[in-house]
Structure 1
């Protein structure tokens, strides 16, 4: 197969995943699964205790002022808790923390119950927010702004404090947790 034939075959395969109004959700999810992403657990504090959820749509947005972008499901219970609290903490997970990532992604589990489901996630307060002991980095934020983002909400957080250690991050690619080579 020549390069041009391979390219044409790939274009045909990619075109088939698009509907009349753009790509189907499953096709879009599959396309972005090819982009490796870091795995984080976003936490906050509630009257019922610590709460959190796994999030991969997290990135640094600006250094001046220091801002973080978080994309989180519009119907997420954790989003409700973050907005009520006005603060959240991004915990960057290390290799070997896939059980923690899976526990905090469990559908049907309340954001507070996730702290007791692994069987218990060791954590400590960092700037008044629940920081996972195993995290490679912690970024404490105040909610700065929110924007609608389709079936998600874009939360812009002002970074109030951060700390980091050393180690390899947990990465998600093609629907699986992975380690860097």
Structure 2
């Protein structure tokens, strides 16, 4: 597929429930420009890593019931992000489809692999014991990372494997996961000039 015939790959999702109001806009062919506000500062930082290292132009505006806790805000934002990614991917013609990344952050090492197969599946392993109960940045509980990546995978309809291979610092363990996810997505959504049509023997993804 030539550059002249490539479609615009953007997604826009608004999701409103009694627990949150979410707007997500994504451009797969961006430069990593982000504008993010969820009311959960550490989560804002993580989504910024995803956009920056995935070269996704990403706008996220969430108002959630953070007076209760961050769970609904994090999960609902991830659901909308997954839906926006799925929308932006379109028919997936001409892309690589598979992507992976091995990302270090000081003592932490994370591996992420993704398949834009149209079939949702998530494997999330390797976090050290106790990571799920650590509070980071005042209101982000470590267990929310799994909820976020599972929600993205399910709603984007992608197969996603996230493996924490090493790590001690709770902040680094989460951040490396979002950076690696960004890098893997960047690889998977990239145009491949040698790919004719959809990269599947089925003819669709």
What TM-score do you get using the length of structure 2 for normalisation?
Answer: 0.25
Query: As a proportion of its length, which structure holds more helix?
Result: 2
Query: As a proportion of its length, which structure holds more strand?
Result: 1
Larger CA Rg, structure 1 vs 2: 1
What TM-score do you get using the length of structure 1 for normalisation?
Answer: 0.28
